[in-house]
Amino acid sequence: MKRFYSVLQKITAALCGIIISWFAVYFLRGEEFSLTFSDRVFASYFPQILVFATGVSIYLLFIFQIKSNLKWWKKLLILLIGFLFATIPFLLYHGHFQYQEHSFWNREISKSKNLYFNKSHSSETIKIIESKSQIDTLKIEIDTIHSKQITPYFELQNPVKIVKSEKANWELGK
């Protein structure tokens, strides 16, 4: 039974490491990835979910360091230090990342209109997306993107420039 808990602890620690890495990649390099959520409501909550999961993961990693042979004050010290380190993602998000004006997680999509549909692949569309920053609500950005839905939950979005072509599978949206 002790071996089972040891393996479970290692698997949980690896998952915590993956969540912490996801946090770092999402907020530092996330603009470079074209994978987005199809559900706009969930996409607006995802940064907060990721911040919470990262804080919990950091705290779990500290809890895993507590051994039964340690004195009580060392156990308490590990818990307190773990709590302090677990607050770092919250402080980073609410103190720095949330107030960056041109960040993709602070944009709220107000309107989306399909311009073109692909005749051969129904999951591909060309859209015009109107988004506004949650910080500066007066500034509105309009982007033309190529959207390809992978699953019902994820889609790939890449910026495009529309060029007229004679031999294309695209038809005008309604």
pLDDT digits 0-9 by tens, 95-149 = 777 666 656 666 666 677 777 777 777 778 778 777 776 666 667 777 777 778 8
Distance CA(145)–CA(129), nearest Å, equals 7
Query: Residue 35: enclosing H or E segment and its boundaries?
Result: strand 35-37
Residue 60: pLDDT above 90?
yes
Residue 22: pLDDT above 80?
yes
**What pLDDT is attached to residue 32?**
73
Give strand pairing partners of 143. Answer: 129
DSSP letters, 97-119, are: GGG-TT-GGGEEEEEEEEEEEES
Average pLDDT on 11-29 reads 91
**Is the pTM of the predicted complex or chain greater than 0.75?**
no
Question: What is the C-alpha radius of gyration for the chain, rounded to an integer number of angstroms?
Answer: 22
Contact 39, 149 (CB under 8 A): no
